[in-house]
Amino acid sequence: MRNTFGAFLFITDMTQAIRKWHMEKDEAVKATLQEEYFRTTAPEHLDVLQSHLKGHFFASSGVTFADFAIAIFLGNMLRRNAAALDKHAALKEHLERVNSLPGIKEWIARRPETEN
């Protein structure tokens, strides 16, 4: 991942891994697959993603569409597993930084609650 588009595309890989358990119909199997994802696959993906942060954002020039997409993805991840970013402080700070941007912060405060 040399640029923000690469970081954005990396979310596709992460999403494919999530689909294995997200689309599962059997709740017991789904729970097992989700636990396995957060124990093994997610930390590896988050390590790669975190290694590409360029200071405060994924581009050294400032916030881009990739930062917004990644923040949405990380927020959804935290809704499913509150500890998902515990070992990835830089990503957690990135999420908080993006969510605190003018306009974004206000939208988050008033947006409707949804599962996703």
| Residue 66: HSE in the Cβ half-sphere, 13 Å Cα cutoff | 23
What are 15's two structure tokens? 């999403």
User: How far, in Å, CA of 14 to CA of 68, rounded?
Assistant: 16
Q: pTM of the full predicted structure?
A: 0.83
What are 33's two structure tokens? 């697959």
- Widest Cα–Cα separation across the chain: 45
Residue 18 near residue 24, CB atoms below 8 Å: no
User: How far, in Å, CA of 99 to CA of 57, rounded?
Assistant: 12
pLDDT tens, N- to C-terminus, the chain (116 residues): 456 667 767 778 888 888 888 889 999 999 999 999 999 999 999 998 898 887 889 888 889 888 998 999 999 899 989 999 999 999 999 999 999 999 999 988 998 887 65
